Amino acid sequence: MPIRLSDGRELIYFDDREPYPSRTETDNRGLERPDTHSEIRLDVLTGEYVAMAAHRMDRTYLPPANENPLAPTRPGEPPTEIPAPDYDVVVFENRFPAFSGGTGRCEVVCFTSDPSASFATLSERRARTVIEAWADRTEALSALPGTRQVVCFENRGEEIGVTLTHPHGQIYAYPYLPARTQSLLRQAGAHRAATGGSLLADVLADEQRADVRMVLRGEQWSAYVPLAAKWPLELILAPHRDVRDLAELTGDERAELAVVYLDLLRRVDRFFPGVDRTPYISAWHQAPVGEDRELGRLHLQLFSVMRAPGRLKFLAGSESALGAWINDTTPERIARRLREVAES
């Protein structure tokens, strides 16, 4: 159910608890439309695009609990981005977007109104609601003029650099193809020209046959650690069927995804002994909109910057300056540990 915040930004409720509320609350903060301006520049040395968004320098950073902008607005407490006194899942336009001025769009997805929760602690029903929100927004943002790719992602943990600890993610409608997407499409195009097959589908089939880096197999989804994993903890979750984006998933695929994704996140949280909540980045890579869409295939990439309890993998000279990655473990060890920490 969409409403408009006081500065004109769109907010959409995705409710899963009956009786469903009518959502008559209004945002009375009297906000002015944020003065945002971003610019996209091309690095001619690498062919990569960079967004310049100076207004993000002043965005909210780790506020105290009573000033959480993603909490519901409740009597006696400061008003927040969500005017309702409670909610299930909500999506709204980011007040500090990476893209502005009619180019691209950035949205925030709040997974729950509970600030102490995490995605891993959600119920299957709530996880399914988040998936429905992702799919709904993927379809809507893909239809916007100029959109080249829609990506849903979550940054979890202060070690990652999150500015708000409330459980949430983001959805970006990119007006260009990010560097990793360009690389994936280039490799997929070469693979198709050489074999006639789908690169991501063939990699999944190879991993299933080899079985050494597999983490789990369901009826609709499988998860594995990539052969050349860059991070100390990294995995790929992919559908068995050729699917371009989250909006194309069937009801059965969405239902199993809610179960499988929660399973994986809970394994990630048990990966490091003595660590309750592993910091991670989780991103849904979806097929581009328009040109080269047939080369894309939906998959989730999840990784952590933690290499051991209390120790992070810093991207030093080799990785940061040259993009020459050095992993401190092996994909086979990562997969073995993720299998070991499965719920019995």
Angle at 275 between CA 270 and CA 280, to 5 degrees: 75
Between CA 166 and CA 162 the distance in angstroms is: 10
Q: Which residues pair with 328 in a beta bridge?
A: none
Task: Please answer whether residues 14 and 133 qualify as being in contact, where contact means their C-beta atoms are separated by less than 8 angstroms.
Answer: yes
Indicate if 168 belongs to the active site. yes
Task: Please answer whether residues 246 and 298 qualify as being in contact, where contact means their C-beta atoms are separated by less than 8 angstroms.
Answer: yes
Q: Which of these is catalytic: 166, 168, 191, 285?
A: 168
Between CA 256 and CA 277 the distance in angstroms is: 24
For residue 175, CA distances in Å to 52, 80, 123, 148 come to 13, 29, 34, 5
For residue 35, CA distances in Å to 7, 53, 82, 163, 164 come to 11, 11, 20, 20, 21
Catalytic residues: 168
